[in-house]
Amino acid sequence: MEFKELEAFVAVAEELHFSRAAERLQIAQPPLSYRIQQLEKQLKIKLFNRNTRSVTLTDAGERLLGPARKVLADVELAQAAARSITAGESGRVRLGFAGASSSKILPPLAQEVRRRYPGIDFVLQGQIYANAALDQVANGQLDMGFVRLPIPHPDISYRIVEHERLICALPSSHPLAGGSEVRLEQLADDPFISFPAEGGSSLRAALVDSCAKRGITPRIVQEAPDSYTILALVAAGAGATLTLTSVQHVQPTGVAYLPIAGEPIWLHAAIAWRTDNTSPALARVLEVCDDVLPEPDV
């Protein structure tokens, strides 16, 4: 049984006239009659009573009409879904993120994607640190990810969304808390709190690298999975940390946020995706990024 034969049957059943049904399907009458004959032959039933003046459905034709209409409607839905997927109006886009620094960027992006393209399943996967997100974009586990520069993968495209300055967070009771800035060498003997060594945190890497450039090794005594917990521990007096200007709002009390002496240390946040990812849905989400997340000035 072919789709065209069912389509011909429904057209004749609804028009009860072969000429009008042929016009509706934009075919000649002989091919239409042939399709009906083939369908009757395959089903081994008579679908229409025909004479020179009228066409009526047989009892078998009446019983077949409902299921045939459903098949045609299901095919039409499938074709519409395929057109929507091709146009990028539906599909699935997985975005990985982590940390408080993405909390300002993510909500407007997600809201606008869902407003413009309700058919796109925009999957937000949290607790994926920047370096891990980059690896998962590169291997195809994610379609997009919040990452930080530099990006060593030649097959990754990216769009900068924020420039963030690295600063020091000290307990408000710390002897250096009242200063205008802090030299990392002054914290050589202090305990530090940071993200886990395993997991791909760019902030953990920035802390270790910044200290190493000043000839010290940070004594990390406690690890925590997010900036909320880390800064709460700093406020409780458990140690110092290096964090970003964008997350100072997370812990407004009990913490002194100080610039690091010397040349400012910048971390550049970006959204990354594989250059060869041809998903139409991803293309639509990237268009929303262009509108909602203009590239910032330093």
Instruction: Quick: pLDDT tens for 186-213.
Output: 999 999 999 999 888 999 999 999 999 9
**Amino acid (1-letter code) at residue 168:** C
Q: Please state the domain extents for the chain.
A: 3-86, 90-161+269-292, 162-267
* Domain 3-86, CATH: 1.10.10.10
Closest by Cα among 96, 94, 106, 108 to 133: 96
Enumerate the β-bridge partners of residue 273. 157
Residues 166, 239, 146, 272: what is their CA dihedral angle, to the nearest 10 degrees? 60
Q: Is the pLDDT of residue 224 over 70?
A: yes
Which CA distances in Å does 112 have to 71, 84, 91, 120, 143? 35, 18, 16, 11, 18
pLDDT digit string, tens, across residues 89-118: 668 899 999 876 677 888 899 999 999 998
Task: Yes or no: say if 202 and 129 are a contact pair by the CB < 8 Å rule.
Answer: yes
Closest Cα to residue 164, out of 215, 88, 100?
Answer: 100
154: pLDDT strictly greater than 80? yes
Report H helices in the chain.
3-15, 18-25, 29-43, 59-86, 106-116, 130-138, 202-213, 227-235, 280-292
CB-CB contact of 26 with 15 (8 Å): no
Q: What is the CATH number of domain 162-267?
A: 3.40.190.10
pLDDT, tens digit, for every residue of 234-280?
999 999 999 999 888 889 999 999 999 999 999 999 999 999 999 99
Sequence-separated (6 or more) residues with CB below 8 Å from residue 66:
none
- Grouping H, G, I as helix, E, B as strand and the rest as coil, residue 218 is coil
C-beta of residue 212 within 8 angstroms of C-beta of residue 172: no
Superfamily name and number for 90-161+269-292? Periplasmic binding protein-like II (3.40.190.10)
Residues found in the chain? 298
Q: 288 near 112, Cβ under 8 Å?
A: yes
What pTM, to 2 d.p., does this model score? 0.68
Matching CATH topology for 90-161+269-292 and 162-267?
A: yes
Predicted confidence (pLDDT) per residue in 51-90, tens digit: 878 899 999 989 998 888 888 777 776 665 666 566 556 6
